[in-house]
């Protein structure tokens, strides 16, 4: 599950944990991007966003952080990341990329997007505020690749799209950044360890007045 994670919040974390439990896998990986290719570069460095991811999962063995994009010199294109993962796990191991609905609907704008489903499955998580209104191209992709039986994800290395509704949590990193900039506490929307880090590092305009 890749993301800018600026900062990581409970919407991300709950999503990752519920997916782990639903799929019955040992671990789900959180993969912060260093240089997001599709949005303004965040003021927080890749290292700072990775540090917040690591703090948020320190006591949850079912979630792990992957630092390959943060440590890479290349822009954070998912196709490059998936190729790197493939080199590690080989051609036959199933790989599943987790995306929120907003990210999934932007797929035709991604770098070499036609190759993504040759490299992985895509698990799309419904997200409050984002209705599934696909363009014609996305409708074709869904028709060609969509499955409803999650067990099929384990029978092939790539190529399926599956949708999943989880506990709807209407939390966004934008909301967290705005709260802090307005001197309001984001407590209970992000893990305490992440909030402590933000205060120590004075991120997002935190002024220690909250």
Ligand X SMILES: Nc1ncnc2c1ncn2[C@@H]1O[C@H](COP(=O)(O)OP(=O)(O)OP(=O)(O)O)[C@@H](O)[C@H]1O
Residues interacting with ligand NCN, by CB under 6 A?
2-4, 33, 36-39, 76-79, 103, 106, 110-111
Taking CA atoms, 71 is separated from 34, 50, 66, 100, 171, in Å, by 8, 10, 10, 24, 28
Residue 169 interaction partner, one of ligand NCN, ligand X, none, beta carbon < 5-8 Å per kind: ligand X
Q: Give the N- to C-terminal CA distance of the chain in Å, as an integer.
A: 32
Residue 25 interaction partner, one of ligand NCN, ligand X, none, beta carbon < 5-8 Å per kind: none
How many CA atoms lie within 13 Å of 68's alpha carbon, on the beta-carbon side? 18
Residue 48 interaction partner, one of ligand NCN, ligand X, none, beta carbon < 5-8 Å per kind: none
Contacting positions for ligand X (CB under 6 A): 3-6, 11-12, 15, 99-100, 102-103, 125, 127, 169, 171-174
Residue 78 interaction partner, one of ligand NCN, ligand X, none, beta carbon < 5-8 Å per kind: ligand NCN
Q: Cβ-count burial of 72 within 10 angstroms (0-12 exposed, 13-18 middle, 19+ buried)?
A: middle
- CB nearer to ligand X: pick between 147 and 166: 166
Q: Which residue is nearest to ligand NCN (CB)?
A: 2
Q: Which residue is nearest to ligand X (CB)?
A: 100
C-alpha–C-alpha distance, residues 83 and 127, integer Å = 27
- CB nearer to ligand X: pick between 90 and 117: 117
- CB nearer to ligand NCN: pick between 67 and 152: 67
């Amino acid at each position: 599950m890749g993301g800018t994670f600026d900062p990581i919040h409970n919407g991300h974390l709950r999503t990752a944990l519920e997916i782990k439990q639903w799929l019955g896998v040992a671990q789900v990986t959180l993969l912060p991007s260093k240089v997001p290719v599709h949005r303004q570069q965040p003021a927080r460095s890749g290292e700072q966003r990775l540090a917040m991811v690591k703090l948020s999962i320190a006591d949850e063995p079912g979630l792990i952080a992957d630092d390959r994009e943060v440590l890479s010199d290349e822009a954070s294109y998912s196709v490059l990341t998936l190729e790197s993962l493939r080199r590690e796990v080989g051609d036959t191991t199933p790989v599943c990329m987790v995306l929120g609905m907003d990210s999934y609907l932007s797929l035709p704008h991604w770098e070499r997007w036609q190759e993504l489903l040759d490299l992985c499955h895509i698990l799309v998580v419904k997200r409050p505020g984002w209705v599934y209104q696909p363009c014609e191209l996305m409708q074709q992709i869904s028709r060609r690749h969509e499955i409803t039986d999650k067990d099929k994800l384990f029978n092939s290395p790539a190529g399926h799209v599956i949708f999943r509704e989880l506990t709807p949590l209407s939390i966004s990193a934008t909301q967290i950044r705005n709260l802090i900039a307005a001197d309001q506490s984001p407590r209970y929307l992000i893990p305490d360890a992440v909030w402590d880090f933000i205060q120590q590092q004075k991120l997002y305009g935190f002024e220690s007045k909250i």
